Amino acid sequence: MIVDADVALPSWAEDYLVWLATHRRAAALTLENYRRDLVRLAGLAGEREPQALAPADIRRFVARLHGQGLSGRSIARILSAWRGLYRWLIRNRGAHVNPVEGIRPPRSPAMLPKALSQDQTKALLDTESTAESALEYRDRAMFELFYSSGLRLAELAWLDLDSGSRNGWVDFAEGMVTVHGKRDRVRTVPVGEPALVALTAWMEARSQLSVAEGERALFITRNGRRMSAGAIRGRLRRWTQASGLGVHVHPHMFRHSFASHLLQASGDLRAVQELLGHASIRSTQVYTHLDFQHLAEVYDLAHPRARK
């Protein structure tokens, strides 16, 4: 099922998105994902209003999505969005039941997050620029900051120039970046020296660009507007190709690499949890498996009795 997030939605769905934006202050990327999930629900429901759907309908929708190739994890996210919609309908539109409650997604095999090795990360970040243009300075600063501080894509895209901005900002004097993460949780993370150097070079280049009136974004396009998530992905794809690394790299891979490399060096799971902004230690524990995987590879390569 190919979903066009730009299709017109029923009024109940648009009203819910407005509520998420104004009352929950959901990030732009979150709203984009919710819109896509509501498009799915509206398409599956057809002419029926959401209040007319029963748990059996939701189970049938889940089975259809799974049959179309969506993973259990993707369906779990979709169900979460639908569950939130129905809670809102009960509070605000007189709905009586939440048919999504108790519906579980299909089980998927556990997948470890993909992280770059330290050598791969160094090779990627040390890639020589094809031209010392303002955009090259910007890209290097973005990717250094991703890896230096373990930021999410939306967190980096929404950074502002202004200290104290609700979107987040970089404190150059203290070498720290403050971001507003998921569920509006605020955290402050150190910024490494290479990232600070790259950011300083970008700030000088940015001052020479024609910036759109009132635009306070830290990272902007050649047209002087805030970089979108899609634009950042595209620039990383271009940068990776120039590096000759031969590996598909997406922005979140920097975050995984940041966490796994930090854990390998320190062994401090709680510190990594705080730096990533995870509410639960269980979300961070996946990186202990990555660390064990690294140790197992070292054993297999180095131990005389390891299986070859």
Question: Which residues does the annotation mark as catalytic?
Answer: 152, 182, 252, 255, 278, 287
φ and ψ at residue 160, rounded to 5 degrees: -115, 170
Question: Which tokens go with 210?
Answer: 């024609």
Residues 6 or more apart whose Cβ sits within 8 Å of residue 138:
202, 205, 206, 219, 220
Residues 6 or more apart whose Cβ sits within 8 Å of residue 195:
141, 144, 145, 147, 148, 149
Q: Which pairs from 214-221 meet CB under 8 Å and 24+ separation?
A: 216/160, 216/161, 216/162, 216/165, 217/158, 217/159, 217/160, 217/161, 218/159, 218/160, 218/161, 218/169, 218/170, 219/138, 219/141, 219/142, 219/156, 219/157, 219/159, 220/138
Question: Cα 63–66–69 angle (5° rounding)?
Answer: 155
Question: Which tokens go with 132?
Answer: 């010392």
Residues 6 or more apart whose Cβ sits within 8 Å of residue 274:
187
CA-CA distance, 297 to 283, in Å (whole number)? 24
CA-CA distance, 255 to 187, in Å (whole number)? 15
